[in-house]
Each structure stands twice: as C-alpha cells, then as structure tokens.
Amino acid sequence: MSFIPYLFFDDTCEEALNFYAEVFGGKVEGVMRYAELPPDAGEVPKGRETLVMNATLQVGEASLMASDSMEGGAGRPSGISLYKGFDDVERARRVFDRLAKDGEVTMPFEPTFWSKGFGRCRDRYGTDWMIGVDAPEDHA
C-alpha cells in the first residue's frame, strides 16, 4: 500500500515517462492507448487515439503513473511536487541535474538544514521535482 503520484500531460506523456525511465534507471510498463478504450467507456476525441490512456514507470519497487488527458487541456502541473530521496549525495545531484536540464531550477541542489543535499526543479515537461538525500532514520 502506497501513495502513487499520477501525472496528467496534454500529449507528452510517453516522451516524459521515457525520459524519467532513463534518468532513474526504470522501465515504462503497461502502456495503454486511447484506441484501446472499450466502446462503453467513452468517446476518444479525434486525433488523440495514439496518446497514452495509462502507463506505469517502474523503478525497482517505486511506481509513478501517468496519462495524457483524454480531452487535452490538463494544464501546467501545480500544487503537487514529486519527492524522490536517495542515500547518496552524488547520485541525487546527478539525477537533479539531469531533470533540470532544459527545465527550470527553482531551488539549487545544495545542503540544507534538513538534508545533505536537496534541490527543486521543474523539468522540461512541467513536472515539479524535489530531489533529496534521505536522512538514515527515514529508512527505519
């Protein structure tokens, strides 16, 4: 049982998940497209048939789920970030730098009063990330 972030994109879901798979070293699984929607589950707007209805990014035990919004117009993500913690400062910094490339750094990756390394950025697909180094007791 866990809380899984579910991201909505307008039409860049697949590209974004492939990028995250590369950055985190995971795998995109179970890609379903709107063309596969059962007939009684709604009508897909023309031109959106090949977009992603549901997909999961699996990184070890961690999952992230996402889709392109059925009608489009998901808008810019706001009011939710995704936190991913690492044990190793250099690994966290590397992930942060890759996510921030062509995106926007909102808080540079550096030591803070709560973490040996923490940074925040909005990636090129609009997702707001918090990348940090977990304190040892977080794994208790």
Partner 1 sequence: MSVIPYLHFQGDCARAMQFYAEVFGATDLRMMRYAEAPQAMPEWKDSDRVMHGQMTLGDGVLMASDFPPGQGDPQQAVSVMFTAADAATARRVHDRLAEGGAEIMPFGPTFFSPGFGMVKDRFGTHWMISAPMPKPA
Contacts with partner 1, residue ranges (CB under 8 A): 1-9, 30, 38, 41, 54, 59-65, 69, 74-86, 113-114, 126, 130, 134
Measured from the CB of residue 50, what is the shortest distance to partner 1 in angstroms? 19
Closer CB to partner 1, 102 or 113, in the complex:
113
Closer CB to partner 1, 91 or 101, in the complex:
91
Measured from the CB of residue 102, what is the shortest distance to partner 1 in angstroms? 19
9's tokens: 């994109």
Task: Label residues 30-41 b or e (16+ Cβ within 10 Å = b).
Answer: eeebbeeeeeee
d(CA 4, CA 32): 18
Closer CB to partner 1, 82 or 105, in the complex:
82
Measured from the CB of residue 10, what is the shortest distance to partner 1 in angstroms? 9
Is the Cβ–Cβ distance between 13 and 133 less than 8 Å?
no
63 three-state secondary structure? strand
